[in-house]
Amino acid sequence: MGKILVTGGAGFIGSAFIRNMLDWYPDIHIVNLDKLTYAGNLDNLKSVDTKRYTFIHGDIVDAEVMEHAIKGCDAVVHFAAETHVDRSLVGAKDFLRTNVEGVYQILLSARNNDTSRVLLVSTDEVYGSRDVGSAVETDMICPRNPYSASKAGGELLGKAFYESFKLPVLITRGCNTYGPYQYPEKVLPLFITNAMEDKPLPLYKGGEHNIRDWLYVDDHCRAIDTVLRKGVPGEIYNISAGYEKENIEITRKVLELTGKDESFIQWVPDRPGHDRRYSMNSDKLRALGWKPLVSWEEGIQKTVQWYKENEWWWRKIKEGEFKKYYEEQYIKRIIT
């Protein structure tokens, strides 16, 4: 696989994938197609080797842009997405456009260009909440918010293109991922940076005991690379770490690592339809030779340390567009 198109490569996991792939494979070339919406940040890619990397500023929904970007690429890894559940609850239109229409255009362009692999990066949230046990890839999906519903729609299009046209589509469903360069609307970077600024950590009242499985971003990238190279077209692969934590537990860990106490916790009204627990079985992926290499304890310590050492990266984000959105939504939560 000499040339790979990565969509959404200026985002959190996409940029980590590009950095890692260029490091792991000295002969690979990456084309990064990114619209640079609020969460896309070219600072995430300052360290990459530009001799083996091409950036294209454009929208995956734009047929002409997609046809140009995909030319000569052996594979597509599709990260570009609207991903924040809270934003989808306020308005889902952008989620439908990017996560459904965008996937359709990627699949169409891949078919037009005989692309050898198309990997769609999805989420454990399509399974919905699960009180006991862990979801396997053949389980029924049951998305419970507009974000996860839009991701499920994109997945179904991918499966349809595989069944109808034998397009070699693979799908991964990842659990909660964290690490450096994550946009600070997400819970861990928000809580870490808020604690560093002596600001409250807004924790959902009623959701403090909700459970998520936490995967370090480099392990997620290794999993995607494994599926891209060894996965069977038409198949779905769960990516899970097995480090399930309650929301209150991760909050306390952030406070511990930033030297703050629990007086910084600010209880806010719970999210509508808040899923209680996500859990997946990843035996199918592990059979391909993958397993997480970074433990929760190591990963969270590395992550907090990175945000401590890289205030230049996150402070200008929190003082920009994010500040207006966050303050508006935070006030809504407090007064609801």
Catalytic residues, by residue number, are 124-125, 147
What is the C-alpha end-to-end distance of the chain, expressed in Å?
51
DSSP string computed for 25-37: -TT-EEEEEE---
Phi, psi of 171 (to 5 degrees): -130, 135
Amino acid residing at 45 = L
Where helices occur in 71-207 by DSSP H, the ranges are: 85-90, 93-96, 102-112, 146-165, 187-196
Burial (0-12, 13-18, 19+ Cβ within 10 Å), 209: exposed
Alpha helix (H) ranges present in 46-186? Answer: 63-70, 85-90, 93-96, 102-112, 146-165
Task: Please calculate the CA angle 102-108-113 and round it to the nearest 5 degrees.
Answer: 125
At 103 the three-state DSSP class reads helix
Q: Give 270's DSSP letter.
A: P
> 56-66: string of b/e by CB count within 10 Å (b at 16+)?
eebbbbeeebb
Q: Which residue shows structure tokens 């980590």?
A: 16
